[in-house]
Structure 1
Amino acid sequence: MTEGHNRSRSIAGRVAIVTGAASGMGRATARLLASEGAKVAVTDLDQLACAGVAAECGDDARGYALDVSDPDAIKSVVGLIAKDFGGIDIVVNNAGVSSHAPLDDDPAYEEIWDRAVAVMLSAHQRIIRAALPHLRQSDAARIVNIASTEGLGATPGLTPYIAAKTGVTGLTRGMAVDLGPEGITVNCICPGPINTAMTARIADEHKTIYAKRRTALKRYGEPEEVAHMTLSLVLPAASYITGAVIPVDGGLMARNA
């Protein structure tokens, strides 16, 4: 990379994969990257939903059905994306699942645990490893893993989710060290309370109470606010940021009381 290009704040023409992009933070990220000129591969479980988001993103976006818990599907879809777009520059691992499971009395605990780890941890490394040959051909390869403030603290009844998200922070640091000599950056965002489908079941009045009690900004965040941090990390100019674990949480982790 030339020094000038290394400082570019444009992702125009870059190819980005966004998982879990049919709704919430993934959708907001796909739309934002596309608005900045990136070519976006929108992936999620449902092909029609992916196609809908891809249409929102414009002519340089395509939708791909992908179950990230399926290792074979990951290899196939990542390879297809690289072929369709002529390479891969950016990977955003955003796919997630709700994983509430009381430790003692939930007969489905083991199933919930396995699903959480498969979707929110194992899938991340599989997607990165599948994309790696293509990322190595990029002059500004960027990887962003979406974890959670539950990876920095803990809420009762969420041990499968907490374990998976904590694993993502460690995976990020480990891969940053492994890939740093090649100039590939790997960073992690830990969203706090965000208005998504996963939090939609919480009553608005309870959200308000929680946000006022726990966050410095005293409100829930919006998916677009997380997406803008992702955009900042995937810029070619973000060439000396790697291994970072960044809360986007309205100051939740900053408060003691």
Structure 2
Amino acid sequence: DGEKNDVKDEIGKENPDLPKGTEVEVDDKGNATITYPDGSKDTIPGSDLVRPTKDKDNYDPQGPKDPDDRVPVKDQDHLTDGEKNDVKDEIGKENPDLPKGTEVEVDDKGNATITYPDGSKDTIPGSDLVRQSKDADKITPKVPDTKVPVADPSHLTDSEKDQVKTNVTDANKDNLPSGSQITVGNDGTTTVTYPDGSKDTIPGSQLVTAKGNGNTTNSNVKVTPTNTNNKINKDNNSLGKNTANAKAGELPQTGETNDSQKLSVIGMALMGILGLFGLGKKRKKD
């Protein structure tokens, strides 16, 4: 029924001068019977109105919605092979539902011809796929090795902003084209504006750090806090095994306290002394 209605709509588009009150009926084979207000009729054979569907009828390939996502090229009238491949990749990303076996060809101006497995074709104009490249497409600003310690990472002072700007400038002295401008926001986020007006930004988290946290370097190596319990116990060569016991006054292996050990030693000494006295008395009696 949907297809029959499509045929009726098509007849209406192709014959806008049909008198008001004309009725159109479409049979299962697409043949259309046109009945005029006076009762007279015309017919249009289905072969003139319908055809088997093709792949192109089921797909509507598009370029990127955001113009900034179009492929940057040096010359929009003469794309390089690498730029053409980038356009093909972008079409694949934007149209992941294209049927397997679909082929894409890109001409020198970025126009793309999409050929489906059944041979039907669609085209996407180059104006929807490519744009003139800008400085920001060619340059990636370097992040300074050292972060600026600041009192409040959310509200930098003017002097702290100046230090951030100096760090970014020094890190990119051989990287940025002449005329580039560097501005620093309240949270340290830095915007690099190139001569052609394009921009790059560096997050403040990569440029500043709160004073006293000790993390002033930009590195992929994470600083792991030292575990104070992992100290080598020289008495039994184990890692941290008896640290807690030592603090509590326990002996490493017996579990006895230092005070108990002292009392035990004193008791043994007293017993020895008493034993000597007893032996002396026995000898005098003899």
Q: Same fold by TM (over 0.5)?
A: no
Which is greater in Rg? 2
More helix by share: 1
Q: Which one has a larger percent strand, Structure 1 or Structure 2? A: 2
Range of TM-score over shorter length: under 0.3
- Greater RCO (Cα-Cα under 8 Å, separation 6 or more): 1
Normalized against structure 2, the TM-score is what?
Answer: 0.19
TM-score by length of 1: 0.21
